[in-house]
Amino acid sequence: MLKIAVLGIGLMGLPMSRRLLAAGHPLSVWNRSPEKAAPLVAQGARLAPSPREAVQDADLVITMLTDGDAVGQVLFGEDLPNAASGLRPGTLVVDMSSILPAQAQAHATRLQALGCTALDAPVSGGTLGAEAGTLAIMAGGDAGAFEAARPVLEVLGRPVHVGPAGSGQLCKLANQMIVGITIGAVAEALLLAERGGADPAKVREALRGGFAESRILEVHGLRMVEHDFAKRGSLAVQLKDLRNAMHTAAELGFAAPITEHLTALYRAAFDQGLGEQDQSALFQHLHALQPHRTGH
């Protein structure tokens, strides 16, 4: 069994780490708020006081952090004993955070200079997928590194190698564009149905199995009709990913008008105070945009 270090124990890192422990991998973990890792320690993980100490004996390192700046700080930063100072040559570093493709490429170059190999392997499927081990895993980097990481990644979900360094992040941006736009479409459609007098729960039921069927209609649509916006994947993170998509589109000279419009809607929802709710809470913002009707 490979010795694994996980840097970042949050909504996704916790259930992913639990699966790695259940599969029998020796696990060391680090998190800026160490109390979040307490459940893993109870299951046999070793809690390290710094990224450097977490990775010193690891064959494979997984980062699951908020954004590219956080990944850069944990790997190479000066505000704490960083991971790069503890990595052994030959260690495989798999960044499963969602960051900019250009950042992933830069991190891979720096890790290669240390004699390590790198994959950018962001995921989709949320906390439910992390718990069930059914995450979609989009990996960019060397094909040999992907094959070396595959047995570990298959504990967490369904990994696919999509191209060279940065390609995993490009794939994740495509994923988040589809997710963010589809959440908006489902929310607007259900609100229209409700406004016209139909039962939105029954409308969702009627749409299931037709061409409008999607995982978003199934999962997020249910949250909308039940008004259950407890955070599984936050609206703030969805906005971050859409902004990353727009940033990358600008770098590539690519026009993305639909994503641009949805980014503005998520930004307005965030400004409305919905950032720490589930991303399906865009429904609430769209509801608030509806003009008040005094009668027919």
Which residues are catalytically annotated?
A: 172
CA neighbours closer than 13 Å in the CB half-sphere of residue 7: 34
φ, ψ at 277 (rounded to 5°): -95, 170
Query: With contact defined as beta carbons under 8 Å apart, do 172 and 122 qualify?
Result: yes
3-state secondary structure of 116: coil
Q: Specify the residue for token string 């941006």.
A: 173
The DSSP code for 4 is E
The two tokens of residue 270 are 């965030």
Q: Specify the residue for token string 């259930």.
A: 15
- What type of residue is 133? G
φ, ψ at 293 (rounded to 5°): -105, 125
- What type of residue is 33? S
